[in-house]
Amino acid sequence: MFLIKFIPEKILSLQSRKPSGFIGRYLMTKAFNNGNADLNSFVKETLNLQGKDRILEIGFGTGKLINEMADIITEGVVEGIDFSETMLKQATKVNKGHIAKGKVRLKNEECSILPFDSGTFDKLCSVNTLYFWKEPNKYFSELFRVINHGGKIVIGFRDRNQLSNLPLNLDIFSTYSQDDVFTGVL
């Protein structure tokens, strides 16, 4: 992953937000799979998945977490929404078998207004997307709209301290502390 060191901060930040082209297809896929493995594992464990769960992942990226969740559910479905066509192609490859069985459904759309009915999902997750939500409260309103009563939402993110040493363009990334998120000071 030494090539990432040579990518200018702004381009790397834009690619983190919405991967595209060669950088998105190859470098960001590898970076996401390696860099998000622990956070994805934590999110999956925290969701406490059950066989019949209807699950939504916002910003599914490479589709690795969706694939792992689909391996667990037996009668439910895992849906995902991501606005990067490059990531949709990657995730479709990764989830080809689950898609064929009807266990996974992927959409290439923006998630500020979710294309689902209210109360559709039992579980909902998103990993490393919060930084790019220009109006986080609007996004959270949509998450709460599509989750059913008693459902669970898990937002995985690295807080401001964890991101402080990374070369991020703060015009593209918004960073938050855990307190910002937990108290709704977004």
In the chain, the number of structural domains is 1
* Owner of token pair 């709704």: 184
* Owner of token pair 């807080």: 159
pTM across the whole model: 0.92
Q: Which domain holds residue 76?
A: 2-182
Q: At 176, which CATH number?
A: 3.40.50.150
Q: Which residues contact 35 (CB under 8 A, 6 or more apart)?
A: none
**Does 51 have pLDDT greater than 90?**
yes
When the pLDDT of each residue in the chain is averaged and rounded to a whole number, the result is 92
Between helices 64-72 and 85-94, what is the axis angle to 10°?
Answer: 40
CB 172 within 8 A of CB 14: yes
Q: Which residues contact 54 (CB under 8 A, 6 or more apart)?
A: 76, 77, 79, 120, 121, 122, 123
One-letter amino acid for residue 32 of the chain:
F
Q: What is the pLDDT of residues 77-127, one digit of tens each?
A: 999 999 999 999 999 999 999 999 999 999 999 989 999 999 999 999 999
- Tell which residue, 69, 53, 51, 169, has the closest CA to residue 126: 69
Rounded Cα–Cα distance for residues 42 and 44 (Å): 6
pLDDT > 90: percent of the chain? 72
